Amino acid sequence: MKDRVILHVDQNSFYASVEMLRRPALKTVPCAVAGDPVNRHGIVLAKNQLAKQAGVKTGEAIWLSRQKCPDLVLIPPDYSRYLYYSRIARELYNEYTDRVEAFGIDECWLDLTGCPNDDGFAVAEIIRERIKNELGLTVSVGVSWNKIYAKLGSDLRKPDATTVISRSNYQDVVYPLPSEDLLYVGPATSRKLRRIGVRTIGGLVKVGPEFLRVLFGVVGLSLYAFAAGLDTSQVAKSGREVPVKSIGNSITARHDLHTERDIKAVTYMLAESVSSRLRISGMAARTVQISMRDYELHNFERQAPLRFATQLCAEIAPEAFRLIMDNFQEGQWIRSLGVRACNLVQASKLNQQSFLEDEKHREATLRLEETIDTLRGRYGGLSVRRGISLADRSLTEHDIRKENVIHPVGFFGP
């Protein structure tokens, strides 16, 4: 049976590369796309090659990056622009196959199996040149017979390169790599593997699936399959909608929260964004979840069922606030808060949920919140405000939906 031909295309330093297109002078200085240090969103999201050479790393705090690179130029993220270039790139990929699966905003798998041109290396080289000439960006491409090895290949040589991992070379190329190079081998898994003497992908294969199952449960079997090149997961068909499992927003406050008024103001601001996004997505939530991180960086999560599946801030926000206050301890200072709508269902499939008078009130509230969505869409997210948000504008002067960070889609789905 002929092997599949799968590509993984990774746009190099994507956010920073897009910013350098807009401002070519950034190519001559170390720069990074980062959150807002004033608002304490001080994390590096992407960096250019000069910043990388200075030791700047994606995901680290801005203050640490500036210690390494005092001349680092910081650029605020522009997600709408990044989405535009991401969409253009996917349209280009679709010219070669109808199976293009996004893995975040800047990565895609392509399955060329059965396509008129199924020469993986040749197509990868064509795509690299077209992205460079038509978009002004660069990509690294991995070519293999499975998705995991294709992604490994795109990570091996950056920027602007193609790496083929084939049946004939995979043991020489893949097995010597550190185990943490494998998808979903994070720091905790890596530490656990090192305690039993496993430091490479080849070492992970050598211990075998049963031992890994005992060590990690069913996830251990997936890790073995990933490491040994046995992954058979399919590349999703282009345009397939991945079911959304949750919608949430979180924020690191400009100053720690310790009063009920401040906590309520931030909670309602987040819940308004979540409920608006539910309505845009045509979804309703049956569960609300809150997350907190205090000044000692201790994380905490709680969730509760909602009375009805809902898209209403008027129902999500009070329950989220109750969850927070029920678990808030006097003297505690909250650094960041999150509100998430979970256990989602399609709103169009909901039947009338109550025959009581309050159902009419819920319908009127929905119409009101939809009207506010329209006004904010036309005049800006801060054009209609709750009174409580005006008590401390430093906490609530945010257009949360506009500032929402884009997170990658997980390999096993969102």
Give the residue numbers annotated as catalytic, written as ranges.
107
Give dist(CA 406, CA 409) in Å, integer: 9
Q: Which of 283, 402, 304, 296 is nearest to 347 (CA)?
A: 283
Q: Which of 374, 407, 410, 406 is nearest to 80 (CA)?
A: 406
Helix, strand, coil fractions of the chain, as percent rounded to 5 = 45, 20, 35
Give dist(CA 401, CA 80) in Å, integer: 12
**CA end-to-end distance (rounded Å), the chain:** 32
Q: Token pair for residue 128?
A: 């690299």
Q: Under DSSP, is residue 191 helix (H, G, I), strand (E, B) or coil?
A: helix
Distance from CA of residue 320 to its chain's centroid?
23
Give dist(CA 87, CA 76) in Å, integer: 21
Is 306:341 a contact under the CB 8 Å cutoff?
no
Q: Could you give phi then psi for residue 381, rounded to 5 degrees?
A: -65, -20
Is 16:48 a contact under the CB 8 Å cutoff?
yes
Dihedral Cα 144, 150, 153, 155, nearest 10 deg: 170
- Amino acid at the residue 19: E
Q: Token pair for residue 84?
A: 């535009």
> Cα–Cα–Cα angle for 311, 317, 319, nearest 5°?
100
Is 32:51 a contact under the CB 8 Å cutoff?
yes
Peptide bond into 159 cis (omega under 30): yes
Give dist(CA 369, CA 315) in Å, integer: 12
Give dist(CA 90, CA 102) in Å, integer: 8
Give dist(CA 153, CA 142) in Å, integer: 4
Helix 260-281 vs helix 313-327: crossing angle, to nearest 10: 140
